[in-house]
A and B are shown apart, each in its own frame.
Chain A
Amino acid sequence: MAAAQTVSIGVLNQHHDPEEDAFWSKTAQYLSHNIPGYNFTIKLMGLECLNQAIEKQQLAFVITNPANIVALQKSEDARPIATLQTRYQTQVSSYLGAVLIARADRNKLKRLSDLKNQSVMAVSPSEFDGYQIIERELLLAGLSPEKDFFEMLFTNGSQKNIVKAIVNDEADIGIVRSGILENMIADKEIQPGQIKIIHPQDTPNYLPMHSSSMLYPNWSMVKLNHTDIALARQVAITLKSMPKHESTLDYDPFYGWTQAADLTTVNGLLQALKLPPYAPSKEVSLKQILKEHESVTLLVLTFMLVLTFFTVRLSRVNRKLAASQSELAKHRDNLEQEVIERTKELSSVNKALEQDIIARETIEETLRRSRSALQGFYEITVNPELTQHEKLAALIKLARDHFAMDAAFLYKIPPQDAESTRQQLDLCVADGNTEMEDDILANLPQHFDKNESGEIKCVKNEQDNKCYISLYVMVENTPHCLLAFVGNSKLNPNIAQVDQELLRLLSQWIGSSIERQTIEDEREKYRSQLGKVTRLFTVGEIASGLAHEINQPLTASINYISGSLRRLDDNSDTTVKTGLERSLGSLNQASQIIRRMRDFVQMGIHREETFDLVRLIKRVLDLLEIESGQQSISLQSVGTDKPVLVKGDQVQIEQVILNLVRNAIEATQLQNAKPNTKRVVTVSLTTIGDQVEVSVADNGPGIEDSEIEHIFDAFHSTKPDGMGLGLAICRSIIETHNSRLDARNTEQGAEFIFRLPHVTTQYETKSYETSKRKT
């Protein structure tokens, strides 16, 4: 299963309350449980912290007070998705208000106007329900906390402490959230008659608790701008269905979640109080204040100085007490929260570390194993003592051991693979327990699909509790072989990346060795074919050469004898005449024998076809590359960058070029070759009119002048072990092509030249014609 995505919910937390925290974590747990794939966590934060976290997009959701929500609506496009519910006795509400409280025995304090010159206590000016709500009520009543109160105290502690402070007469008036009183009464922390409500409002339908103010929506959960909408929708739905909190107490501030409430009233409040997002920029406000209240400010300042002088003495003790108390509470709260956060962080880090270590160990083990396998693989492939087949067997065994499989098989796929099935496979190599072949045949893919050829298949068969790995060996992009392993199912079906690489490497090696073998075979076949042709030509040329050599003196003898016979007149000795006639008869018989012999050993059938001379030359050079490479002779070709079509007998022309290039290679190796020059043999093609001139040139010593007349004669050779037929054969072939083979010396060495008819393709002719028509 994939790891759950962590979703952080930021909660505005200005004072620590275990009951509150329990509710938040319950909410997170409920969400995590009901929305699969996500792990919701609660992050308790102060206002500063919360804003920073929102800015850094660390939070997906935020639970905060309505004032903050309105601010976030403007800055982050936050949208409330659920609002917190409270319950008092049987009535459930999603609203909140604030109450002004005083000791019950302060008879004179009833209305808002009575608050003038009183000492007022609240938690913090930034608290929405602990101060700002009342501040608006005061503003509506024309009261200013700064001007009209005797003093405005902020405790920064818990609201319950304010209630207690009022009971203990430490201040005249207290400002707390609606519900706090009811809660404390329910918890028996105060008596019902001890505290009274100033400026009580009657809103039983919306808020069952006491309130001195207008009502505002309760705390809500909002989604932020970057939060996934689908997730937000799911959270909203899930929260609404979250079971309500069960409590025996009258008042339950965390009863559950309901539909998101309208925040319009909050907007009004924030506008009235000039709070964010409606706070005017500081510069402007200062100027405004100075301008508007110049004289008043001066008066107030002097008045305040006088007042402070008196007040300071009176309230010093009181203030110090309250301050130290609030300081203490603050420190305690902070400390606790820090400890909780640290513990949470540490445990999560610990967990992550443990997982990391386990994962790393697994990877290291896999890596170590595949490194040793790769090492073995390399050693086998470079071992010069093993034949190709032994290497193959060793490699398959290595792979089998590596995967701890029982048996391995390499099958050759028949070439007509479109219809081939597993029954037609040829077993090439088997390794390990060969009795398992039936198993493997039963589990191999039924048909061989070219498209999925690159993939490694790993099948686990639950019935026989065995595991099968199979992959194709590709030769020229078609499956050529199938490599298969079978073994116990201990193996993890997800083969590690490195192990997959090992398998692919093995398959590639087999593929390339098959390819190499095929090329070798083809070259060998070609060589033997050429050899056959060479032999045929050699026999033919022997006969032809012999015929020519004998024919010349034979012709001469016949001519002489015929001439002699004609010179004899009737008076001459008839015996001489008879002798000459008989010898003429014998000579004619000899010439007949020679003619028959030559007819018997024909040159091979001359077949006319159109072929690409460039391809032929490349093939010849490729064949001779090995010989010349050993002698560090460079074989070059000129004018062979595109196909050149000629007409003739391809096999015979190939024989000619092969012979000429071979001769040229030998010429560069001669004793009297120029020293210190790079030995080069060049085959070049030049188109001359409707003919293609083929030239084979070397930079050897060239042909001696005395030789050049006879170089093509049969049985004439400058090589100590030569038959003297190579060039004679070449000449015969070129002559049957109605052309001639020429030899000449160049500045570099020797050059042999012949021409063949050039064939222009239909396409070329056509394009030539169209271009002509255009012009």
Chain B
Amino acid sequence: MNPTSNHAPCVYIVDDDQQVRESLEWLLESVNLPTKLYQNGQEFLDAFTTGLPGCVILDVRMPKMNGMELHLAIKQIDPNFPVIIVTGHADVPMAIRAMKEGAFDFIEKPYNDQHMLERIQAAIHEYNSLQQDHQRSQELKKRFDSLSKREQQVLQGILQGKPNKLIADELFISIKTVEVHRSNLMSKLEVKTVTDLVRLAIEAKKDDATP
């Protein structure tokens, strides 16, 4: 049902320092988190595909493209993908800037393993739920889009609480026809009761406003 749940989340580690890179892998493997290692930003950007669960951990200080720049590049591709920035020489302005630019967290080296693992889990979870919301709203949109024009007009009437007779009068069609449309759109939207229909419509409307 949910495509993301078919994939295990993956933690991408971008750091030019090999020992830091590999030790973090060692830590994450101990809690059964799969990892992928990259020694610079470009290497990661080349391999990165959006939509898969996980998060990325970046070092700030790297040659050619530094962590702050890589962060912006990732946000360009997928604004929701969680980025945890790690640095050995943090200062407050840099941290503020990173958070403003949408980083999931800004962690100073050396870090507490528990804290790091919790933040990684949180990032993966948030991205998952974001992805799920996104997919649900995509699906709802698809369902509503499958209605014919007449069915949508009938749906509007139902949502406004009008009886079938009134809808039939307004649309210059017979009550019988309205009833047919009504049952068709219910089955298309996979709802059984009018209550479910209204809840679904509200949910779809909320998602429409958010994108």
Could you tell me which A residues sit within 8 Å of B by CB distance? 544, 547-548, 551-560, 562-567, 587-588, 591, 595, 598, 606, 708-710, 712, 735-736, 738, 740
Contact = CB atoms under 8 A, between A and B. Distances in A.
A645 B97 CA distance: 24
B209 to A, nearest CB: 34
A301 to B, nearest CB: 131
Contacts of B63: 708-710, 712
Interface string B40-62: 00000000000000000000010
Contacts of B171: none
Given A588-B110, A598-B89, A556 B20 contact: yes
A176 to B, nearest CB: 125
A559 B27 contact: yes
A551 B61 CA distance: 13
Interface string B1-44: 00000000000000001011011101111110000000000000
Nearest to B112: A588
A100 to B, nearest CB: 130
Interface of B: 17, 19-20, 22-24, 26-31, 61, 63, 66, 69, 88-89, 91, 93-94, 97, 108-113
Given A551-B110, A552-B17, A559 B24 contact: yes
B77 to A, nearest CB: 21
Contact of B29 (A544, A557, A563, A587): A563
Contacts of B69: 740
Given A556-B23, A736-B93, A740-B66, A551 B109 contact: yes
A710 B22 CA distance: 20
A548 B16 CA distance: 13
Contacts of A554: 109-110
Nearest to A591: B110
Given A548-B88, A548-B89, A567-B30, A562 B19 contact: no
Contacts, number: 80
Nearest to B63: A709
A587 B93 contact: no
A708 to B, nearest CB: 8
Given A553-B19, A738-B97, A559 B113 contact: yes
A708 B63 CA distance: 9
B37 to A, nearest CB: 13
Given A547-B88, A588-B110, A557 B23 contact: yes
Given A555-B20, A556-B19, A566-B31, A544 B110 contact: no
19 contacts: A548-B61, A554-B109, A554-B110, A555-B20, A555-B23, A555-B88, A556-B22, A557-B23, A558-B110, A559-B20, A559-B24, A559-B27, A563-B26, A563-B28, A563-B29, A564-B30, A565-B30, A566-B31, A587-B110
Nearest to B24: A559
Contacts of A563: 23, 26-30, 113
A562 B110 contact: no
B39 to A, nearest CB: 11
B73 to A, nearest CB: 14
B81 to A, nearest CB: 23
Contacts of A588: 110, 112
Contacts of A556: 17, 19-20, 22-23
B110 A566 contact: no
Given A553-B19, A555-B110, A587-B110, 17 more contacts: A544-B89, A548-B89, A552-B17, A552-B19, A552-B88, A555-B111, A556-B19, A556-B23, A558-B111, A559-B20, A560-B23, A564-B30, A591-B110, A736-B91, A736-B93, A736-B94, A740-B69
Given A552-B20, A555-B110, A566-B31, A560 B89 contact: no
Contacts of B29: 563
Contacts of B27: 559-560, 562-563, 566
Contacts of A560: 23, 26-27
A553 B108 CA distance: 14
Interface centre among A556, A587, A740 (most CB of B within 10 A): A556
A547 B97 CA distance: 22
B89 A562 contact: no
